[in-house]
Structure 1
Amino acid sequence: MVFLTIANLIRCRGPDEFWRKRKIFRLAAHYIGRRRNCYSVAVRNVHHALVYATKARRLKKQDMKDLWDTRISAACEQHNITAFSMREGLERSNILLDRKSLSDLAAWEPKTFQCLAAVASRKLHLDGFIDGTDQKAPTGKNLNLDNVILDDWLKEKK
């Protein structure tokens, strides 16, 4: 484009505006109607969508934590131990597993989770720990700890 006067050059908005608008229109490409074609409408809707996407990332993390806690507490109730006691017993036994790992074990490896519950229960019994946080007693079956040889290992870790 050839400008004969400096006034025409100043009035030209240049490539910056084109690329700025193009970025918004690309984000609004899947919208319907004026929300995708009209810049002033598209920019509002894109900004709203970006705000919701930012909030959703935090909510997704919180939802996953809630799901993991629900799975752990349900599996602990089956083995007659509270989730707090389970975590405390595992921590005292130097078994450091996070929520996600315990949740996966509870869902996909029930025998492994049962052994972890037995280890936690035995360690809390040896330490004389009393769980006063949960007023609701678990309704699961009592663990048969006769065939689990843990006493020597748990006593040496003390």
Structure 2
Amino acid sequence: MPRATKGCARKRSRKRLLNKTEGYWGGRGNLYRKAMETYIRAMVFSFRDRKARKRKFRELWISRISAAARERGISYSRFMQGLIRTKVDLNRKMLAEMAVNDKPAFDQLVEQVKAAM
């Protein structure tokens, strides 16, 4: 009985991997073993950095809200506490967007918070 070598299935899986690593530097895009190592590492980085991107954006939104609130004479923590007290349910992304692009609306929010404190 002849030895089975997976034939076209193995060739297809190798081709699929080499297509994914196309454009990588040197043998990392051409040689199967190097391509496999590099691809696995790239996927680990992409998984990790999807989480990091969420953290970075939250950090950015908080710094924007904080800067806008301080311009209006209130700290970030007091501002957020006041929003909770006044039952304003806006997330940090929307608050940051308002702080940058809709200053009058943000001013109204700050006045509501100051009244509640």
Residue 38 (structure 1) aligns with: 31
Aligned-pair distance for 1:23? 2.1
Query: Match for 2:110 among 117, 139, 153?
Result: 117
Q: Looking at both structures, which has the greater relative contact order when contacts are Cα pairs under 8 Å and sequence separation is at least 6?
A: 1
Aligned-pair distance for 1:93? 1.2
1:50 equivalent to 2:36? Answer no
RMSD: 1.1
Q: Point out where structure 1 has 5 or more consecutive residues left out of the alignment.
A: 1-5, 125-158
Paired residue secondary structure (2:23): coil
Q: Distance in 1 between matches of 2:53 and 2:45?
A: 12
Aligned residues: 117
1:64 equivalent to 2:57? Answer yes
Q: TM-score, normalised by structure 2?
A: 0.93
Over 4 Å off, 4+ runs: none
Q: Point out where structure 2 has 5 or more consecutive residues left out of the alignment.
A: none
Q: TM-score, normalised by structure 1?
A: 0.70
Aligned-pair distance for 1:17? 1.1
The percentage of aligned residue pairs carrying the same residue is 25
Paired residue secondary structure (2:29): helix
Q: Distance in 2 between matches of 1:32 and 1:114?
A: 52
Residue 72 (structure 2) aligns with: 79
Residue 83 (structure 2) aligns with: 90
More helix per residue: 2
